Structure 1
Amino acid sequence: MLEEKPWHKQYPKEIPKSIEYGQNLIPDYLKESARKYPMKNALHFMGAEMTYQKLYEHALQFAHYLKSIGVEKGDRVAIMLPNLPQGVIAYYGTLMTGAIVVQTNPLYMEREVEYQMQDSGAKVILTLDILFPRVSSAVKNTSVEHIIVTAIKDFLPFPKNLIYPFIQKREYGIVVKVNHEGNHHLFTEILKAASKEEINYEGDPEKDLALLQYTGGTTGFPKGVMLTHNNLVANTKMCDAWLYKYKEGEERVLALLPFFHVYGMTTVLILSVMKGHKMIILPKFNATDTLKAIQKQRPTLFPGAPTMYIGLLNHPDIAKYDLSSIDSCISGSAALPVEVQEEFEKVTGGKLVEGYGLTETSPVTHANLLWDGPRKKGSIGLPWPSTDVAVLSAENHEPLPVGEIGEIGIKGPQVMKGYWNRPEETESTFANGWLLTGDMGYMDEEGYFYVVDRKKDMIIAGGFNIYPREIEEVLYEHKAVQEVVVAGVPDPYRGETVKAYVVLKENAEVTEQELNEYCRKHLAAFKVPRLYEFRDELPKTAIGKILRRALVEEERQKLANDKKEA
């Protein structure tokens, strides 16, 4: 049990200070849900549904096939797919063999795939037919021995499965034919031939890795975060404790967050299977498709990212859709603007709260309360059960008093084992037992935490420390602004200067001068952006997180080019 912390006093009685997370491996929960809810639908995908019994059988088939081609405990199996039923099957099937999942972004290009396969030492990769040419070329100089290929049409209902290849050819201009022979394997053939017999998988949840999850690599090369079965189970059970009003076996979860992102894996994939919920799977975010799915499939839980909620709110026909089934949403991956939270709650009648986490913590460590207790604007909320958090000084990494800004440190069962094959970087990420998040923040007297910015994103202009998030919050409140990101760009006089990259709402108009006057009313003069750039869109990750560093790199490149020309 954790000692009493300020945030524990804010917990409603239903949320415990600490949780029991047992000694189960992740596949145990699929086995248990298949036993308890055999005929309940586990998955809905574009009109097709799959029961828990069928999902369990398919996972067993995939596991048996992996074993037949030489996959053993500790081997790495890469899954390079958008959200599809095949990804759920492969995830649990891989873990049943004792192997480690390597989630790979399907948007990766050859160089990125090659790096990740080389670094992880993956033996097998599962991918889409349309990605096969890219993948087969990328893995030539890696340890990958087998490529398993599937297609989106493989789990579509009739007649969509017949129509989809024509749509695919029109959209991507490619039709790929792969034969089930040699080291190339077809997912559909695997499910025809492999055994459905029970597998006796054993392991140590505290020591055995379930996942290598690669970080974004904004500084240097991406690192493989080593997450054990215990890490992921503990974080999922924390999430379950936070969602205490939800009933086992009865909820419907919108599976829009990518499973290849650890946030989607924990709060959607593992949580849904652990609790016997139904996943409504969408392979990518499209505002119209999402609104249609919400109206028709009636999800109750919608974990997402701010850009998803913003995209829905700015859809011109949002008022035509019934979104009233949504009871709660936990937003992660980036700061949630207050006005987006308020507007989304007004439209749906549900609750939308901001959470916080990072890949190294499986990923969630904080969230605002959904139902009972105070919610504070601009706060990432309270630490989750069994999680200890402190604001640390830069000098000696000792906890700072309430209200002082320092680096946020985390302790808890969801904290990673370390970085794959990087002992020195692992060591430098911990201090006095705390995982150093790289985020600057503070805690108030009631135990609510606030992130003021990434340590590396902090702008130092003319000697002042400036936190971009504060400026973004102000600009998000302007009626013409749909999306904004603020970054520090090189400046010969101030060292850095503040620049705002702005996407306007459809048909909205505002000038740079008007934004400047608006900011001056709400911010100290040294924080007001000196530069504004209007864009049609901002660079983002697959989960919708705006890539601030990509914009900064653009500016540095421009400066370098200007110097060359001069």
Structure 2
Amino acid sequence: MQSEKLWLKNYPQGVAAELDYPEETMPQLLEKVAAAFPGRTAVIFAQLEIPYAMLNVMVDKMATAFYNLGVRKGDRVALMAPNCPQYIVGFFAVQKAGGIVVQVNPMYVERELEHILNDSGAEIIVAFDQFYPRIKNVRELTPLKHVILFSLGQPAAEGEAEVLKAEELLASTEANPPKIDFDVVNDLAVLQYTGGTTGVSKGAMLTHRNIVANALQVTQWFQGCKYGEEVVLSVLPFFHSYGMTTCVNFGIANAATLVVLPRFEIESLLQTIDKYKPTLFPGVPTMYIAVNNHPEIGKYDVKSIKYCISGSAPLPVEVSQKFEALTGGCLVEGYGLSETSPVTHCNPMIGVRKAGSIGMPLSNTVCKIMDLEMGQKELPPGEIGELCISGPQVMKGYWNMPEESGKTLVNGWLYTGDIAKMDEDGYFYIVDRKKDMVIAGGFNIYPRDVEEVLFEHPKVQEAVVAGVPDPYRGETVKAFIVLKEGMESTEQEMIDFCRGKLAAYKVPKLVEFRKELPKTIVGKVLRRFLREEEVKKQQGN
């Protein structure tokens, strides 16, 4: 049934269903852009502007420094940084040296950081110096041999003998990067850590082909995108696959200027749009909602924005309509996941957009809906099942997890875990999540991570976490807790306990104490029941 590719009859004019991808890596694409546009501004960050020629030299120097420290093909190098030029340099330099970038969420606390460093086997980490205390606390428990810090102002680790400084490495290293013979289809470029209902964080193995293909797939979908002329508002976190592809890789592949913001703050964002006139603004619904609802939006010129892809959460129709009215640009909903580099679907920039739909598969991407019981029967349009994807952006598997890889990748198809349907026109719709992941403000939160922490509290007998609707974040984390007999607690006590053990975005915003939790006959907690109950409560039913 998928061979019919129903979406092709509605494919946007000018968007090819099949593309050829170069046998190149992202650093090689950067080299080409630097040669063609040496003086064009590659990155704008605060008051700093870096032209492409300089960016390429910085990458060459850092790649050489990595090689001198012992990095060889296939070695893992962790990168723990906010959005900044140093992240971009490190990201490209690791790959150019033959290494694999290990993406580390800078909000991770020690226990989460320790797991990723040990699981990946990274012996080097490049990090913003403000994060050093956390790295120092786990360093002896991990394979780390070298810590390379950079500052965004006054260095925070002054006098630390056991660290290297990125600025000094760049200043003292001649640009002489190693010549690596890459197999772009099979050699890894990135370990993109994701989670799962088991609570075990998994490293999605993304190859050089995966990330280059996805950048070029997104390029083609942005009809009217002009090579060497675009300006990308880069506020999505780069450590996340969404920001990595739609900002960094897409931007560099298209000789665009990346206007980089370290975090999302609405005033700073609007001032940046007004000053630098970005043409593309990839984001999440909470960002567009904040722009729409800013009380003084009329003070800012936001008319430069041409194209926006919204991902990570459903995009309400009224949000896109209001944003388009303000900017004159096009805001469409797309879909992806870490295992697919991440973009697989998007509504057309030109043509029919369907409310509530994630759109159609990108070029070279084929999808089908499989039955939920066995996952072996392909379903016709209109029927609900599991979304399965095949394409050049689909990961190689999970790092050091062959059994988990085998469950997710079956006969060349990625089983996404998302429940979906396809209509008669080939547009896809996400109906529900087979996994229990919570998506709050664009961040993926896995209930088990939070539940494990709650169970550590001496007063907690049972705990379950669910995502409940939130008008701003899309979803927010709510914990349902049964206390041990004779114990008393407060919502704030539980929240404070979690704050010391979890990244801030994972901490429950709501806590409800119950005498018991709803369960199946075999004792499994009915998480979905709790969520549906919360929805009805919010709707006043």
1:425 aligns with 2:409: no
Q: CA deviation at 1:445?
A: 0.5
The 5 Å alignment of 1:171-186 reads: 176-179=156-159, 181=161, 183-186=162-165
Cα offsets for 1:164-203 (capped at 9, x unmatched) = x4xxxxxxxxx7233475x411111011111123542221
Structure 1 position 432, deviation (Å): 4.2
1:363 corresponds to 2:349: no
Q: In structure 1, what is the equivalent of residue 15 of structure 2? A: 15
Change (3 A) 1:109 1:37: same
Q: Is the 8 Å Cα contact of residues 129 and 178 (structure 1) preserved in structure 2?
A: no
8 Å CA contact 2:420, 2:429 repeated in 1: yes
- CA shift in 2, pair 1:433/1:310, >3 Å: same
* SS at structure 2 position matched to 1:140: helix
* 8 Å CA contact 2:67, 2:178 repeated in 1: no
1:284, distance to aligned residue in structure 2 (A):
0.2
The residue number in structure 2 matching 1:162 is none
2:296 maps to what in 1? 317
Q: Is residue 384 of structure 1 aligned with residue 362 of structure 2?
A: yes
Alpha-carbon distance in structure 1 between the residues aligned to 2:280 and 2:151: 28
2: distance between equivalents of 1:49 and 1:305?
26
Deviation of 1:48 after TM superposition, in Å, equals: 1.1
CA distance in 1 between counterparts of 2:280 and 2:126 reads 29
Offset from partner CA, 1:81-111 (integer Å, 9 cap, x none):
0000000001111101100000101111111
Structure 2 runs not aligned, ≥5 long: 448-463, 474-490, 519-541
Secondary structure of 2:281's partner? coil
Deviations 1:352-406 (A, max 9, x none): 0000010001101100011x21111110001111001001102332210110011
1:84-95 counterparts in 2 under 5 A?
Answer: 84-95=84-95
Q: How does 1:264-275 map to 2 (within 5 A)?
A: 264-275=243-254
Cα distance change of structure 1 residues 318 and 443 upon mapping to structure 2, 3 Å threshold = same
Aligned partner of residue 360 in structure 1, secondary structure: helix
Task: Count matched residues.
Answer: 470
Which letter does structure 1 place at the counterpart of 2:288? Y
Partner of 1:375: 353
Structure 1 residue 500, shift from structure 2 partner: 5.2
SS at match of 1:176: coil
Distance of aligned partners of 1:262 and 1:502 in 2 relative to their CA distance in 1, 3 Å threshold: closer
The sequence identity of aligned pairs, in percent, is 44
In structure 1, what is the equivalent of residue 57 of structure 2?
A: 57
2:413 equivalent to 1:413? no
Distance in 2 separating the partners of 1:8 and 1:546: 39
Q: Quick one: distance in 1 between partners of 2:218 and 2:291? A: 25
SS in 2 for 1:446: coil
CA contact (8 A) 1:295 1:323 kept: yes
Please state how far the C-alpha of 1:441 moved relative to its aligned partner. Answer: 1.1
Cα distance in structure 1, aligned partners of 2:130 and 2:116: 19
Matches within 5 A, 1:67-466: 67-153=67-153, 165=154, 176-179=156-159, 181=161, 183-197=162-176, 199-217=178-196, 219-370=198-349, 372-397=350-375, 398-457=377-436
RMSD of aligned residue pairs (Cα, Å): 3.0
Q: Is the 8 A contact 1:117 1:139 kept in 2?
A: no
SS at match of 2:322: helix
TM-score by length of 1: 0.78
Conserved? CA contact 1:60–1:199, under 8 Å: no
What are the Cα deviations for residues 270-300 of structure 1, in whole angstroms up to 9, with x where unaligned?
1111111000000000000000000000000
Aligned partners of 2:96 and 2:177 also within 8 Å: no
Report the Cα offset of residue 335 of structure 1: 1.2
Assess if the C-alpha contact under 8 Å between 2:217 and 2:363 holds in 1.
yes
SS in 1 for 2:140: coil
Aligned-partner residue type, residue 200 of structure 1: K
Give 1:221 shift. Answer: 1.4
CA distance in 2, matches of 1:429, 1:406: 15
Could you tell me which runs of 5 or more consecutive residues in structure 1 were left unpaired when the two chains were aligned: 154-164, 166-174, 459-467, 473-484, 488-495, 506-532
Deviation at 1:19, TM superposition (A): 0.8
| 1:376 partner amino acid | K
